[in-house]
Structures are given as C-alpha cells and as structure tokens.
Amino acid sequence: MNTLKVYLTTLLLIVIGNAYGLDTNIEKYGAIGDGITLNSAAIQQAIDHCAQTGGGKVIFPAGRFVSGTIALKSNVTLRLEKGAVLLGSTDVNDYQNLDPFTEGLGIHVGWALVVGVDLQNIGIEGEGVIDGRGSALKAQQILTDNRPEGQRWGRRPFLLRLVRCERVHIQGVALNYSAAWTSHYYHCKQVTIEHIKIVSRGVAHNDGIDIDGCQNVHISDSDIDSGDDALCFKTTSSDMPCSAINVSGLKLKSGQGAIKMGTESMAAFQDIKISNCYIYNTNNGGIKLLTVDGAYLNNVEISDITMVNVKTPILIRLGSRLSVFRKDQDKQQPTGRLENVIIRNIKAQAADTAQLKPPTGILITGVPGYNIKNLRLENIDIELAGGGTIADSKQEVPEAIDKYPEVKTFGPLIPAYGIWARHVEGLQIINVRLHLKNNEERPAIICDDARQITITHCAFPPTTGSLAIIQLKHADDVTINANKVEGTAGSFISIDNAKSKVTYKGNQVVKSLKMINSALK
C-alpha cells in the first residue's frame, strides 16, 4: 500500500512537471531566426504560454531573431543559447513605452526592447546576445524624425527595462549596442546581475547599467564598455531609495563616468558598497557621487579601485538643481545631504588630457549653506600630468548651484592639482599620495569654506614655484600632521584668516620650506 502511494505521488509530480514549468522554444510558436523576419508576436506568444502553464524558461536557440518590444511575465526566464541573438528591430514604431518618464536632461523616455513591469521571479540567462542595433535604428529614425537630436534620442528604445520587479536574475548574456540606455532597473528588489558583458557604443546615451531606486541589489564579475555612464545609480522618483547594494569585480570603460550616483537624485542613496573594480580609458570621471535633486547620499563605501587613463578620477557634488522627473507623480524636493562616505584604496592614473586643463585629481564641492559632511579619503594614489601655473592657482571656481553636475561645470580649470574641496565639514584626507609628470605651481590641496579638516600621512611630490602646498580659505579647526613634502613653495600651509584654528606637527618638509604663511604670526 505504501509502495502504491509512493508510485502515485511520483506519477502525479511527473504529470504536474509536464504540465507546468516546461521549457518553451520560441521556434515552436513560429519564430524564424533569419535576421529578417519580425518575430515580436511569436516570441510574445511563447512567453505568454510559458507564464500561463506555470512558468519556466523560454528558449532562444541559435539564430538571429528580430523583434520589437517583448514583455516578460512573472516566473519566466529568457534563455539565450550559444549562437542565439535577439536583434532589435530598426523601426522605432515596433517599440512600446509601458512606463514613461523624463530623464535628467528633460527628455521623455522609456521605450524598450525587453520590458517587464510589476513582475516576480524573472530572469535572462545563457551564452547568447541581445543586440539593439542602435546605430542602424538611429539611421532609420532620422529619415522620418526631423527633430533636433537632443530631443529625438528619447524615442529610441532601451535594450532592457524592468519596472517594479522582484527577484530578478540576469546572468551570462551579452547586452550590445542599445539605441539608448542599455539596461534600466526601476524600483526593483532582490536583483542579481552577474557574469554579463555589455558593449554599447555608437549612439548617444549608451549607459551600461542604470539602477534607479532599487533595493537589495548584487552586481558582480561583469564587463561593461559603454559610450555613456557605465554603472549609474539614479533615483528618478522620490518614493524609493537606492539601498542595500553590493557591487564587486567589475571591469569598466566609459565615454562618460565609470561609477556614478546621480545626476537624477530625488530619493536617497544609502548603504552601498562598491569594491574591486578596474576602470580604464574613461572620458569623464572615474568615481562621481552627485546628489542635486534632494537626495540624501549616506553610508556609501567605495574601495579597492584601479583606474588607468581616466579623465578626472573623482568628483563629489552636493547641489541644488532640484529637478522633477515624473511630474504627474512627484514634487520638487529641498536641497539634499551628502554625508558619511568612505573612498579608500584607490590607485589612479589620470589622463594627461582631460576636461580640466591642466588636470585635477579630486573635486569636492557643496553649495553655500549645504556642506558635504564626514567624507573620508584614505589610501589614495593619483598620478597626474601637472603643468599648472601661479595664474591657474588663482582661478575662481563657479558655484553653479542649480546647474547640471559635471566636471566641466566647474572648469575650465581648478586652482589645486590634487584635491580641491569647498563647502565641506569633517573631511579626512589620510595617506593620499600624489605623483606628477611635470612641475606644478598650484597648491596640492585647497580647502575653501571648510571646518573640522584632517590632513595626515600624505605625500606631496617635488615641486617649485607654488605659493603654498596646502591652502586654507575660510577654514577652521584644521589638523595637518605627519605629512611628507618634497617640494618647495612660499610656505607649506597658507591661511587667509589669522583667527583660524590650525594645528600641525610631525610634518617632514625640506629645510628651505617655511611651515606656515605670515597670517598666523
């Protein structure tokens, strides 16, 4: 009797397994992998059938399958076998926008090739490729869309867009040549992205991975080569923060920023750790932390990063642009906060030619009345071209309070070559080592409107002709200890206010270098 029960139970499980959760091959629903036939309807039918019968995997066999928008369903995973290519249609009219919104430059966007809205337990996996054919799509679009390119690009589709989805797994696939952002995750939870390859260049706005107000995200062991930002955290809505995020083991190349938070920044960025990444040949910032639309950026740690040929290694900005991206759902936020950030164990080779001429390693600035607080820069090694002059050291940097936060916003040059910090409180600069290819007459560090500053165990290279190695402007409660200075200047420390509290001890300087300017005498 017991044997019979076991047999019947096993038989029932087999029947259920055959009825639900079976793999679904798109060719069984009429998909043709000839690189010509539009397969949107056939692929969608396969996805719908898979979902209706309990979920499972929708299989893309080897072949080149052209499609417009396809919508994922809960409990469905797309599996692209080796040799399988999902090709985006080059006709913009084959795409749908299931969740419209406005991005940071004010353009209406949201169309996508693969899209999922309000789903659970979904994924994309395999050794195949999703190719948006962005350049070909753009070439077709401009034949009938004569708007300026700055407006026209928003109509082009993202490659992958997931909205309010939970338990998402993206593994193994290649995501190539999107017509706009490559992958956008909006208000998603429990997201894992691992072992993927992104190559997305050829048209503007080719972001790699955009994490927009998502929680419990793990990104690892992936390679991104993008025309725009490679890994970008956004909050285009004030409803949900980017939080509980762990990133490691990425290789990043970018036409803009490699690791970026903002510019869209309405809800918080918090409890985020990024480590063990390699950044190379990047044109507009290695690490960029930007909150300008009201976000609270807090408890972020970035560590063990190597940069090679990167224009402007680090930019940190708290501003008051205060844009709204979903105007029918949201309202303008007050100026945010940027606090409790650690950037440590960074080795950067800055590009000789950058947005700033001559280049600067690290830019940090809040706005008047809103200080960046408790920022720790530790164990950072930066190689720079040098070449700054005394005249460059007197450059006034615009506040640009409500402007788009970009390196060039504060150019054309910065008066310090190593670290320039303005509107800061609780800044710790620990074991920062600067290296120069050419002489510098700008200070290594400038702190302006600053208090509770610590500069310790840093190494400054041989230079001549500078007025000061460290310049303090409107600064108070500053500690400068145990630093090593190989160059000469008018003084080691320059202070513009004799009432400022500045302590210094244990610094190693050449004998001819005066320790401090005459303001404190």
List every span in the chain annotated with CATH 2.160.20.10: 21-228
| Residue 512: predicted pLDDT | 85
pLDDT over 60 (residue 127): yes
| Residue 518: predicted pLDDT | 52
Q: What is the pLDDT of residues 376-422, one digit of tens each?
A: 999 999 999 999 999 999 999 999 999 999 999 999 999 999 999 99
Phi, psi values for residue 272, rounded to 5°:
-125, 130
Q: What is the pLDDT of residues 283-309, one digit of tens each?
A: 999 999 999 999 999 999 999 999 999
- Report helix, strand or coil for 234: strand
pLDDT band, residue 521 (cuts 50/70/90): very low
- 432: tokens are 């920062």
CB environment 67-102: b (16+ within 10 A), e (fewer): bbbbbbbebbbbbbeeebbbbbbbebebbbbebebb
- 386: tokens are 């040098």
pLDDT over 60 (residue 16): no
Q: Which residue, chain included where needed, has tokens 């950072």?
A: 380
The Cβ of residue 3 has, within 10 Å, a number of other Cβ atoms equal to 7
| Residue 499: predicted pLDDT | 85
Mean pLDDT over residues 233-246, rounded? Answer: 97
The residue type at 429: I
- 244: tokens are 């509980």
Q: What is the pLDDT of residues 194-215, one digit of tens each?
A: 999 999 999 999 999 999 999 9
Query: What is the 8-class DSSP label of residue 195?
Result: S
Strand partners, 365: 317, 422
Residue from 325, 257, 318, 259 nearest 291 by CA: 318
- 416: tokens are 């310090």
- 405: tokens are 């936060």
Residue from 238, 189, 240 nearest 217 by CA: 189
pTM equals 0.94
Phi, psi values for residue 336, rounded to 5°:
-85, -155
Distance CA 48, CA 68 (A): 16
- Cα distances from 266 to residues 162, 213, 255, 321, in angstroms, run 19, 9, 25, 11
Residue 284 near residue 310 (C-beta atoms within 8 A): no
Give the least confident one: 5-14, 256-265, 490-499: 5-14
Residue 401, classified by CB atoms within 10 Å of its CB into exposed (0-12), middle (13-18) or buried (19+), is middle
Mean pLDDT over residues 164-187, rounded? Answer: 98
Mean pLDDT of the chain: 94
pLDDT over 60 (residue 501): yes
The Cβ of residue 499 has, within 10 Å, a number of other Cβ atoms equal to 8
DSSP 393-454: HTPPPP--TTS---GGGG-S--S-SSEEEEEEES-EEEEEEEEESS---S-SEEEEEEEEEE
pLDDT over 90 (residue 439): yes
- The CATH topology of domain 300-521 is Pectate Lyase C-like (2.160.20)
DSSP 347-372: EEEE-SS-SSSS--SEEEE-BTTB-E
pLDDT over 60 (residue 333): yes
- Kindly state which CATH superfamily the domain 21-228 is placed in: Single-stranded right-handed beta-helix, Pectin lyase-like (2.160.20.10)
Distance CA 89, CA 75 (A): 26
Residue from 23, 12, 24, 157 nearest 94 by CA: 157
| Residue 365: predicted pLDDT | 98
- Cα distances from 219 to residues 166, 240, 273, 276, in angstroms, run 15, 19, 11, 12
The Cβ of residue 244 has, within 10 Å, a number of other Cβ atoms equal to 16
Instruction: Classify residue 55 as left (phi > 0), alpha (psi -120 to 50) or beta.
Output: left
The Cβ of residue 495 has, within 10 Å, a number of other Cβ atoms equal to 23
The residue type at 419: I
Q: What is the pLDDT of residues 67-122, one digit of tens each?
A: 999 999 999 999 999 999 999 999 999 999 999 988 888 889 999 999 999 999 99
Q: What is the pLDDT of residues 71-81, one digit of tens each?
A: 999 999 999 99
Mean pLDDT over residues 157-183, rounded? Answer: 98
Q: Within 13 A of 346's CA, how many CA atoms are on the CB side? A: 31
| Residue 15: predicted pLDDT | 38
Mean pLDDT over residues 364-382, rounded? Answer: 98
